[in-house]
Chains A and B, each alone.
Chain A
């Protein structure tokens, strides 16, 4: 069979291939999108990029909450009664065709006046006339062309976030002033002859101009260093900002006094250069991945509103309510593909709940009426009616977020390498300054003040402060290229210090992309196999699809009858052979005790044949990763599942890995805390919302993600599942990065010692400071960049 790929989405057309306009489509959905585009002269969509589309999903009824004006009001960014502007997050934006078609939305819907895509953030800002088009219809239009916006509870709460551009402004001020001050100080540097007539006449104007430029640098661009130093001192910590703030103060005061008393030209260029370089370091370290978020909690998973059934006398009325307004005892409706927002009891309907958001396990769990349903599960199948037993905040899963672990700031409690070294550094500098001042007081009292300030100026740890930001910032970039995304630079330092690694099982060390399937029972006749295969092909159940992919390559039959009973199984007949396929209860009529495995049972003409058992498929690299890590770290597997896989795991993993099962989200958090109390530095590697507590509590929380665009819980880093095998190397590289920082500390000390020689002997002139300061900074930057790139080459 040759592989035809869908003209719209590029998927392989397996079954129900639709041909339209001479082009193959994998399903009707894709064909419909093509129809819409071709009718509106937008087929250029397919010229920009081959098969750029996404199959539109069924959204019937899903956006009913957008009829509620209160909800709409919270979502739109601007509304003047006539037109509205809304920012929508569309995860499926992935290529230039997407940008093109979304920005030409006005051709599809004239009520849209403008639309603008922000590609890195995957958002689109749409302005439309509110009289002609409702937000709901706009969302439905987007969904119908395969660009379904993602609207979650988070959008409802957050309001309009302001972008923080302060650092850019500060950088601009410092850079601008630095450049201008340098030009202004050149005349005096190049004319050492003090009695030059021209210079004597004009030097005050140059000097006072430099002073004017440096004022905003000190009081605006460099202000954060004073704040941070003050905070550090109040907490009795000598952080790196203390000597920096001291240096800035001395530079500014001494320079101002110098020009006022006509003693010299001052150090204004060194001063603005210092702050400029420091801010560049800060900017470089601040690597953000705009398409990722490390701050998500359950709110970004949960819907904004649900349908509540209100009973007015005897009649049922459906109404849309905001999820926070759900009270105990409310009856709510959950449709296909909708998330259950509160803990509840199933009243009616057949529930197949996919808890993959919560546990990472994507196999749906079957529930009977009367069963308890937990918030965070997604219904797959028909309509459900449930009765809420908790409010949103008090649900089993969401109350995890009220734990203290979510309040603490990991960074502030962690003392980084730079701050550690600056403690001793500051004390050393102050004592050198004092000793040399006392020495000069004895020898030549007139020079003593000059020497004291010179020492503080030259010892300002510019290069020292730059070492860590540039090493870690560059490392962050290298990791990002290898699909290991970290929240910020301090994660690398914390990762380098870790001693214990905890892994979640489902979704973390197992993959939910494929599963291992084994058949137990009597072997099947060829015709039976063919019947089985054909029935599987016609079914849309996830298990059927997996099974079909496993046993395909058989000839297919023409079925005489076929029926799929949702939540139970399939009945299919060919001539006089009838197949029953599905759950044990459906096929056998009974259920056995062993519920720990996922099975699909088969019977022909009422005779039971056997079953397929679905096993978790562990990642290929798992043995390799664990044996590499086991040499240096304590390894633990924490699983929320039952012990069904215990023996298999034991065989697979090194013997010193300890395994813990039946761990609730709270248990996991407590487990991490217990280890930390013993002094361990814990790295938690998880994937689902059930790990969220442990991820927050741990020193470094990493999330394994099959698809970076799909949501992952709040963490310090996201690792793409395809590079899971590189994890030991990433951790090793973090260790090496810390070593590079230490080496560059040595480098910057050498510069400081050289500078101190000039300072202590009283020979520090502005021109020497102006050369030493940038030279030391630049050489440290070059060293760290070259060194990190060199060690990163070994990643492959």
Chain B
């Protein structure tokens, strides 16, 4: 049953690891703005459309 010592220490180390990760992320300001990232992640696709519109623009100028 002395495996309990190992299990306990492992579980505490893992828990403390996540705790530290949380503190670090707060410190870096990840939780300061919780709205903008939700919008930002939807923007990626627009780059394709931009190329399309540039083609139509150049066509117009011809």
Interface set of A (CB-CB < 8 Å, partner B)? 38, 41-44, 47-48, 96, 99-100, 103, 116-121, 163, 165, 168-169, 172, 176, 180, 198, 201-202, 205, 209
Contacts and interface: CB of A to CB of B under 8 A. Distances in A.
Interface in B5-31: 5, 8, 12, 15, 19, 22-23, 26-27, 29, 31
A244 B12 CA distance: 29
A175 to B, nearest CB: 9
5 smallest CB-CB distances across A and B, nearest first, come from A119-B36, A41-B50, A118-B33, A44-B46, A41-B54
Nearest to B1: A198
Given A100-B43, A119-B39, A202-B4, A44 B22 contact: no
Nearest to A93: B36
A722 to B, nearest CB: 23
Contacts of A41: 50-51, 53-54, 57
B35 A120 contact: yes
Contact of A121 (B33, B42, B46): B33
Which range holds the interface residue count of chain B?
20 to 34
Contacts of B27: 165
A203 to B, nearest CB: 11
A169 B22 CA distance: 9
A775 to B, nearest CB: 26
Nearest to B29: A163
Contacts, number: 68
A168 B26 CA distance: 8
A119 B50 contact: no
A221 to B, nearest CB: 13
A176 B46 contact: no
Given A165-B26, A165-B27, A209-B8, A120 B49 contact: no
Contacts of A209: 8, 12
Given A118-B33, A119-B33, A169 B57 contact: no
A44 B51 CA distance: 10
A47 B22 CA distance: 37
A767 B22 CA distance: 31
B8 A205 contact: yes
B32 interface: yes
B15 A180 contact: yes
Given A44-B46, A103-B43, A202-B4, A118 B32 contact: yes
A41 B33 CA distance: 28
13 contacts: A44-B50, A47-B46, A96-B39, A99-B36, A117-B36, A118-B32, A119-B36, A120-B34, A165-B27, A165-B31, A169-B23, A172-B22, A172-B23
A168 B53 contact: no
A43 B53 contact: yes
Contacts of B31: 165, 168
B57 A38 contact: yes
A148 B5 CA distance: 62
Given A38-B53, A202-B4, 20 more contacts: A41-B50, A47-B46, A48-B46, A100-B43, A103-B40, A103-B43, A116-B36, A118-B36, A119-B33, A120-B36, A121-B33, A163-B29, A163-B32, A168-B31, A180-B15, A198-B1, A202-B1, A205-B5, A209-B8, A209-B12
Contacts of B35: 119-120
Contacts of B29: 163
Nearest to B43: A100
Given A103-B40, A205-B8, A209-B8, A44 B32 contact: no
Q: Taking each of A103, A119, A201, A205, which has the highest tally of chain B beta carbons within 10 Å of its own beta carbon?
A: A119
Interface majority SS (helix, strand, loop, mixed), chain A: helix
Contacts of A121: 33
Contacts of B19: 172, 176
B56 to A, nearest CB: 10
A64 to B, nearest CB: 32
A169 B20 CA distance: 10
A100 B4 contact: no
Contacts of B57: 38, 41
A44 B49 contact: yes
B33 A47 contact: no
A120 B22 CA distance: 22
Nearest to A183: B11
A64 B42 CA distance: 38
Contacts of A116: 36
Contacts of B8: 205, 209
A47 B49 contact: yes
B1 A180 contact: no
Given A119-B36, A176-B15, A44 B53 contact: yes
A168 B28 CA distance: 13
Nearest to A119: B36
B12 A180 contact: yes
Contacts of B5: 205
Contacts of B43: 99-100, 103
Contacts of A198: 1
Contacts of A169: 23, 26
A48 B46 CA distance: 9
Nearest to B27: A165
B41 to A, nearest CB: 11
A38 B54 CA distance: 8
Contacts of A118: 32-33, 36
B35 to A, nearest CB: 5
B45 to A, nearest CB: 9
Contacts of A44: 46, 49-50, 53
Contacts of B53: 38, 41, 43-44
A257 to B, nearest CB: 24
A168 B1 CA distance: 38
A628 B42 CA distance: 49
Nearest to A120: B35
Contacts of B34: 120
A508 to B, nearest CB: 32
Contacts of A205: 4-5, 8
A118 B49 CA distance: 25
Contacts of A117: 36, 40
Contacts of B15: 176, 180
Nearest to A173: B19
Nearest to A290: B33
Nearest to A39: B57
A100 B46 contact: yes
A198 B3 CA distance: 13
Contacts of A172: 19, 22-23, 26
Nearest to B42: A96
A184 B39 CA distance: 41
A42 B39 contact: no
A184 to B, nearest CB: 9
Contacts of A103: 40, 43
B49 to A, nearest CB: 5
A42 B31 CA distance: 30
A38 B53 CA distance: 8
A209 B15 CA distance: 13
A120 B33 contact: yes
Contacts of B40: 99, 103, 117
A546 B37 CA distance: 42
A198 B36 CA distance: 53
Contacts of B32: 118, 163
Contacts of B39: 96, 99, 119
